[in-house]
Chains A and B, each alone.
Chain A
Amino acid sequence: MTPSTPRPADPAPVLAIEDLRIRFVTRDGAVRAVNGLSLSVGRGETLGIVGESGSGKSQTFLAAMGLLARNARVEGSIRFEGREMIGAGPRALNAVRGKRMTMIFQDPMTSLTPHMRIGRQLTEVLEHHEGLSREAARARAVEMLELARIPDARARLASYPHEFSGGMRQRVMIALALLTNPALVIADEPTTALDVTVQAQILALLARMTASGETSVILISHDLGVIAGLCDRVVVMYAGEVMEEGPAEALFANPQHPYTRGLLRSVPRLDRAGGDLVPIAGQPPDLEALPPGCPFAPRCPHVFDRCHTEHPALRPAAAVPSWRKACHLDGFETPPQREGA
């Protein structure tokens, strides 16, 4: 999970998404949440997913877990450890989720069952997936809670979720997600609902507990700082499509897509004096009526005619082969500047 060691492209990715399309059918029409998305995660890799609200980041991975709302229509392919997840029946899904692929949700305050003791919420997973006895499951649960730095773990098995703070509950969620030593953990905005003071602790814990390299991590966030600090590779999403993807450190140092540049310029930096924040002008696109060309064209400062008519495909963005972008523009030589910086 160290960003400084780039990994070679894995021939057999843990998760491979190809041309994923998700529509939500509503009374007023179809909302196109994900539009032809492709990405993959290598074994042991930490992949960051960045994007604004409504960019389809959560829906993509809820689709992988078979957790989409009932009115969702999914096309394309999501292969996890070689098995197709789209259209999989409940039995096939349940053989994978909670065991090989787990998820940490955004809101730890509501994501644990309020009327069940923490211990039971952990042990039921082990009893169900690994057939452990109640005693063995309890021992394992204590072990995981201790790894997640929950003080007095054995006694806390008897506690209910409301007896924990938000940060502690997210520690429990992390312990829960890693109980079965899964191949992939999807962390969907794991720190967004937490106090700023505990966000860093939670992220450090997640990094430490997945450091062995057996578990791949997908970290979904709109917080670029979080992604930059923890991820090997990053995918920037907009309107349910990949705008740019590449090695995290290099990509954030000199982003090649106007949307990524806009995102970076809109982040407050405390380490540099001066420089106003530059918001991205305009609104996120209307997912019920997407433009025929580039979805970012209406907000793009570099827009030209071709952007409105021709949908840009992902193409190499730099010398690094894994760095790609969906943009008709050629390249940017220098990092994005702030006004007055």
Chain B
Amino acid sequence: MAAFVLRRLLIALPTLFVIVTLAFFMMRIAPGGPFDGERALPPEIEANLKAAYNLDAPLPEQYLRYLGGLLRGDFGPSFKTKDFTVAELILTGLPVSMKVGAGALVLALFFGVLLGTIGALRQNSAIDHSVMSLAIIGITIPTFVTAPVLSLVFGVYLGWLPAGGWHEGSLGALILPWIVLSLPLIAIISRLTRTGMIEALRSNFVRTARAKGLPEPVVVIRHALPAAITPLVSYLGPAAAGLLTGSLIVEKIFALPGIGRYFVDGALARDYTLVLGVVVVFATAIVVLNLIADILYGLLDPRVRYS
């Protein structure tokens, strides 16, 4: 198991390298720079700034310097948020993003599996059809629509929850972002669960479990459910990636101080190091989450246990 994890992490290193390289050069291809403003800076000041941040060196040299820094765990200074390093910014934003993302994932798994199971047990009933129609709606309405609408309705009109802001991470401030982030996931997870559950309920081993005279909840939860949600695990990696990208929009709309917001602000301001830093964190997170998904897969299905 340890060897498996180690091997997977080693395989991830070239992936991360390619992502960092692409991100580095794409940022530089984009027009504009970190010190462009509405009012042009005097040329000598701009030259001084560029020299201070090593931006006057040839691009390949800058790239190699950046990679060298990364290897030492140095993400560099932020160009825009003066007096802060990128690592410091990420460390303040990451816990916020993780709280938002993890909560949304838990919510999505709970309601997705629950609704999918109910749909499968009441296949082709009115409940099943309405749940699955809601799921389609959940998939099709993008986050950048649901977020402002929910914020408007529950935050401004009804005033039940804060319309935005972090409020020291209070539960109220988290509820709307969780709902917005989890809705599309609930939609997909419930559909995957429903399909898996329908198949599991038709399987021979569920028939054996029924033949044992076990009560239906035991048959469904103990015998059918683990088989039904095994395919779901393969989706957890992409789902987590979806949460990360979704968080870019959600953190911006709800004004949450997570790293998603740094990414958006950083990209708009051409804060090269900040954007790259967030890219590295996101890419690493996706690699690690996929690894966790694979390990979970082995736990649910003993036939694919890793050595």
Contact = CB atoms under 8 A, between A and B. Distances in A.
Contact of B211 (A102, A107, A115, A124): A102
Contacts of B203: 110
B303 A97 contact: no
Q: Number of contact residues on A: which range applies?
A: 20 to 34
A105 interface: yes
Nearest to B300: A115
Contacts of A176: 208, 212
A105 B213 contact: no
Interface in B171-224: 203-216, 218, 222-223
B226 A115 contact: yes
A65 B207 CA distance: 10
B227 interface: yes
Contacts of A66: 210
A160 B302 contact: yes
A124 B302 contact: no
Interface in A145-175: 160, 162, 173
Q: Which bucket holds chain B's interface residue count?
A: 20 to 34
A67 interface: yes
A67 B211 contact: yes
A113 B207 CA distance: 10
A124 B211 CA distance: 13
A93 B215 CA distance: 10
A162 B303 contact: yes
Given A160-B302, A162-B303, A111 B205 contact: yes
A94 interface: yes
Q: Which of A94, A125, A129, A160 has the most chain B CB within a 10 Å cutoff?
A: A94
B56 interface: no
Contact of B227 (A90, A97, A115, A129): A115
Nearest to B214: A128
Contacts of B223: 113, 116
Contacts of A112: 205, 208
A277 interface: no
B222 A97 contact: no
Given A105-B204, A105-B207, A114 B213 contact: no
Contacts of B46: none
B301 interface: yes
B300 A97 contact: no
B212 A113 contact: no
Nearest to A102: B211
Nearest to B216: A90
B186 to A, nearest CB: 24
A287 B282 CA distance: 61
A32 interface: no
Q: Is the interface of B mostly helix, strand, loop or mixed?
A: helix
A113 B226 CA distance: 10
Interface in A107-136: 107, 110-116, 124-125, 128-129
Contacts of B208: 105, 111-113, 173, 176
Interface string B19-31: 0000000000000
Given A105-B204, A110-B203, A110-B205, A67 B212 contact: no
A194 to B, nearest CB: 15
Contact of A98 (B214, B216, B227, B300): B214
Nearest to B302: A160
A200 to B, nearest CB: 24
A10 B222 CA distance: 40
A138 B227 CA distance: 24
A173 B230 CA distance: 25
A95 interface: yes
B199 to A, nearest CB: 12
B212 A124 contact: yes
Given A94-B214, A98-B213, A125-B212, A107 B204 contact: yes
Interface string A51-91: 00000000000000111000000000000000000000010
Contacts of A125: 212-214
A325 interface: no
Contacts of B206: 113
Contact of A67 (B210, B301, B302): B210
A103 B227 contact: no
Interface string A191-224: 0000000000000000000000000000000000
Interface of A: 65-67, 90, 93-99, 102-103, 105, 107, 110-116, 124-125, 128-129, 160, 162, 173, 176
14 contacts: A93-B213, A98-B213, A103-B211, A105-B207, A105-B208, A111-B207, A113-B206, A113-B208, A114-B205, A115-B301, A124-B212, A125-B212, A128-B212, A160-B302
Given A65-B211, A105-B211, A115-B301, 5 more contacts: A66-B210, A67-B211, A115-B227, A160-B302, A176-B212
